[in-house]
Structure 1
Amino acid sequence: MGPSDGAGKAAGAQGKITDVAGVRVGHQQKSDGGWLSGVTVVLPPAGTVGSVDVRGGGPGTHETDALDPTTLVHTVDSVVLTGGSAYGLVTAHGVQRWCEEQSRGFAVMGGVVPIVPAAAIFDLGRGGDFGARPDAAMGYAAAAAAGAQTEGHDVGRGNVGAGTGAVIGRGKYKGGVGTASVTLEIGVVVGALAIVNALGLPFGFEPAQTGTEPNQVPASLNTTLVVVATNAVLDVAECKRTASAAHAGLARALNPSHTLADGDTVFCLATGAQELDRSTEAARQISLITLQSAAADVVRLAILDGISSARAVTTPAGEFGAYPGNVR
């Protein structure tokens, strides 16, 4: 059973990815002087297992190959979500430097190599300056901000961090950062954080109402990035499968999604604090199906939260309207 049919309860409007114990989030952004971009860092507790599923046909990613279940390292030290398209992936270097200073990483030859995967949205030029994009210093600052947070802290939503320059609906409306969580009766917590920068709009809102023709906006606008976190004990293959299942939430929230030009990417992090029922093979399957169903639900809620939290922004390049109404 999933959370919608009695196996759990939604955490409600205050639900957030930091309801998963040990998870912190840090944002850095600039929205003046030609800027409209930023970076968001998700910092899990040490020993967190992670994987990723990239479904978009136009991804901008860094170190995602290291999260394949067949590779050597199965833990993740941080996940970076950034603006600046491929240029913004350099923010991961700053986060890696911060992690090294904290001795977070894969131990080797008397030192550590932090495992810091990253993914980017396209927001180049939205503040008026094509060259105004996040760099390694901004990544370092976002990691430090995450590291300074307290347990269970609130998470900035809307036009912050990597969501600062995000748009939806072929550039007509603002997108942004959203987050949500669900707690299952078995004690498993599943949270998600989304950066919504999508070509499409939520189901139920007619694209024709945007007043923008499809060929007026370049295809590179289309990316939604998600981090799913859970306190469950999962191995890296189960994290991979959970990330895959969580993409269903993206498809339920936005139309269209996963197109050739999208960079849609979902990371999954498992902190390993809560055992699943693995007493029999049937129990193991039911536990995983329940968790993965919850992941899809919470991703949908996080995406809608990001859209609802966005505000209207006027830039040198034009005006992005706030999304009308509550889309929950």
Structure 2
Amino acid sequence: MSGPSFPQVRPGPTNSLGDVAGLRVGHAQRAGDGYLTGTTVVLAPPGGMVAGVDVRGAAPGTRETELLDPRNLIERVHAIVLSGGSAYGLSAACGVMDRLADGGVGFPAEGGVVPIVPAAVIYDLGRGGRFRATPDAAFGHAAYDAATSLQVDGPDVHAATSFQVDGPDGHAACGGFSGGLNGSVGAGTGAVAGGLAGGVGTASVVLPSGVTVAALAVVNAAGSVLDPGSGVLSGTRYGLPGEFDHLGEPSAEEVAVWRPAGVTSLNTTIGVVATDLTLTKAQCGKLAGVAHDGLARAIRPAHTMVDGDTIFAVSTCALPPPRPEPTLYGSRPVTTPAAGAPGDGAAPDGAYLHDLLAAGADAFSRAVAHAVLAATGRADAPAYLDAFPSALRRTP
């Protein structure tokens, strides 16, 4: 597998969105009794987070995205919700709003607070058997509770998993389960990806400057996640050293017989890319836009008339803003100026927006690959390694 687009980078401690310290992620899902769907929430650290969004698909289902326009009032958001259920699933954000408001978290207004919770949804209607078996506010409650470790198993209809931040060195640690961020969980419970099982995937990278960039993708694509000639997962081309070394090209025989039967006409891939570097709303919007490049490298075709592809970008603002780019574009300094040099904004050494954007795109590609690798196969959508078992060279 090819390495990253620039050297001297490494994954974060958990290779997940949780490596951006302060973020919390929770999943809630229901499978059975006509349901095969779920909700994922990304909670902001205290004080909220700066956010931007880029919508590229022609059939999006979104909420509160206009607030993220740099021309508009709101400067911080308090959570991002990703959900199944198509437009019905936007109701899950109401449950997250309930929990935030109960805790006094939100935009201050006369008489109380208004939590700012942008959201996006995938189309998974009917995949569990019932068309209207969709996430509602209770799913939002369960996902929030999972993210805050208040609830690991939701009452009767929800099975929630949690991911708790504040591990060693200020990074993330798993909250009582292994690999709970990746796979057919949360918003990715009923996802498909070009005929394969889809799901939720995450990835992170720590740049030489110490800045962390991470992505979470909910992969539910009409397009293929495979290289058409080799059957290799396209997103693995952007893996960090060792990340996908357990995989190889599947046999020609397996590639030749692959005929996806579960390709649907309404889909959508959504996600979040995050960093601890301080960004403006406009810079977050740019990061979200470049992350779509990573989506398009891992899924082909992307941004179609039947996809609602939407990516949010968030900044926790734990580190100072990026340095100005070099005066002569295309010519980078051989040595990094000392942190705090006059006029450079006192950012971490070598922290440039250009590098952050490139890392965000690669991280999203990797997250797409992890989503498909971790997904659970089912009758209408096999797991990648069920369809291409020879691709597994060794146990990861």
TM-score by length of 1: 0.90
Runs (5+) with no aligned partner, structure 1 = none
Partner of 1:105: 106
- SS at 1:31's partner residue? strand
Percent of aligned positions with the same letter in both sequences?
A: 47
- SS at 1:229's partner residue? strand
The change in CA–CA distance for 1:280 and 1:297 in structure 2 (over 3 A counts) is: closer
Partner of 2:383: 322
Partner of 2:148: 147
Deviates more, 1:270-279 or 1:185-194: 270-279
- SS at 1:270's partner residue? strand
Superposed counterparts of 1:274-289, under 5 Å: 274-278=319-323, 282=327, 287-289=352-354
Matched, 1:166 2:191: yes
Partner of 1:298: 363
Partner of 2:200: 177
The change in CA–CA distance for 1:276 and 1:185 in structure 2 (over 3 A counts) is: farther
Matched, 1:250 2:295: yes
Whether the 8 Å contact between 2:193 and 2:263 is mirrored in structure 1 is no
Amino acid in structure 2 at the alignment position of 1:174: A
Amino acid in structure 1 at the alignment position of 2:15: G
Q: CA deviation at 1:198?
A: 0.4
The change in CA–CA distance for 1:256 and 1:182 in structure 2 (over 3 A counts) is: same
Whether the 8 Å contact between 2:325 and 2:352 is mirrored in structure 1 is no
- SS at 1:193's partner residue? strand
Q: Which has the higher helix share?
A: 1
Determine the C-alpha separation between the residues in 2 that align with 1:209 and 1:59: 33
Amino acid in structure 2 at the alignment position of 1:219: S
Coordinate RMSD, CA, aligned: 2.3
Determine the C-alpha separation between the residues in 1 that align with 2:85 and 2:202: 21
> For each residue in 1:186-231, what CA deviation from the matched residue of structure 2 results, as whole angstroms up to 9, or x when unmatched?
1110011110000122241459854247xx85521x2111101100
Whether the 8 Å contact between 2:192 and 2:263 is mirrored in structure 1 is no
Whether the 8 Å contact between 1:28 and 1:40 is mirrored in structure 2 is yes
- SS at 1:6's partner residue? coil
Determine the C-alpha separation between the residues in 2 that align with 1:80 and 1:211: 34
Deviates more, 1:133-142 or 1:277-286: 277-286
Deviates more, 1:227-236 or 1:108-117: 108-117
Determine the C-alpha separation between the residues in 1 that align with 2:8 and 2:68: 30
Determine the C-alpha separation between the residues in 2 that align with 1:280 and 1:199: 37
Determine the C-alpha separation between the residues in 2 that align with 1:159 and 1:294: 25
Q: CA deviation at 1:147?
A: 1.9
Q: CA deviation at 1:276?
A: 3.9
Partner of 2:26: 26
Amino acid in structure 1 at the alignment position of 2:265: A
| Counterpart selection for 1:211 from 259, 262, 283 | 259
Partner of 2:153: none
The change in CA–CA distance for 1:105 and 1:278 in structure 2 (over 3 A counts) is: same
Q: Which has the higher strand share?
A: 1
- SS at 2:143's partner residue? helix
Determine the C-alpha separation between the residues in 2 that align with 1:277 and 1:79: 24
Determine the C-alpha separation between the residues in 1 that align with 2:324 and 2:300: 40
Partner of 1:38: 38
Q: CA deviation at 1:38?
A: 0.4
The change in CA–CA distance for 1:249 and 1:204 in structure 2 (over 3 A counts) is: same
Amino acid in structure 2 at the alignment position of 1:249: G
Determine the C-alpha separation between the residues in 2 that align with 1:194 and 1:113: 27
The change in CA–CA distance for 1:133 and 1:113 in structure 2 (over 3 A counts) is: same
Whether the 8 Å contact between 2:49 and 2:316 is mirrored in structure 1 is yes
Matched, 1:124 2:128: no
- SS at 2:116's partner residue? coil
Determine the C-alpha separation between the residues in 2 that align with 1:277 and 1:78: 24
Q: CA deviation at 1:141?
A: 1.3
Q: CA deviation at 1:135?
A: 0.5
Q: Over alpha carbons, which structure has the higher Rg?
A: 2
Amino acid in structure 2 at the alignment position of 1:295: G
- SS at 2:269's partner residue? strand
Whether the 8 Å contact between 2:216 and 2:272 is mirrored in structure 1 is yes
The change in CA–CA distance for 1:48 and 1:286 in structure 2 (over 3 A counts) is: closer
| Counterpart selection for 1:191 from 195, 214, 219 | 214
Whether the 8 Å contact between 2:12 and 2:212 is mirrored in structure 1 is no
Aligned residues: 317
Deviates more, 1:154-163 or 1:67-76: 154-163
- SS at 1:129's partner residue? coil
Partner of 1:85: 86
Determine the C-alpha separation between the residues in 2 that align with 1:280 and 1:86: 41
- SS at 1:81's partner residue? strand
Whether the 8 Å contact between 1:29 and 1:38 is mirrored in structure 2 is yes
Determine the C-alpha separation between the residues in 2 that align with 1:277 and 1:197: 33
The change in CA–CA distance for 1:198 and 1:103 in structure 2 (over 3 A counts) is: same
Q: CA deviation at 1:78?
A: 0.4
Determine the C-alpha separation between the residues in 2 that align with 1:279 and 1:127: 50
Q: CA deviation at 1:80?
A: 0.4
Amino acid in structure 1 at the alignment position of 2:97: Q
Determine the C-alpha separation between the residues in 2 that align with 1:280 and 1:189: 19
The change in CA–CA distance for 1:287 and 1:225 in structure 2 (over 3 A counts) is: same
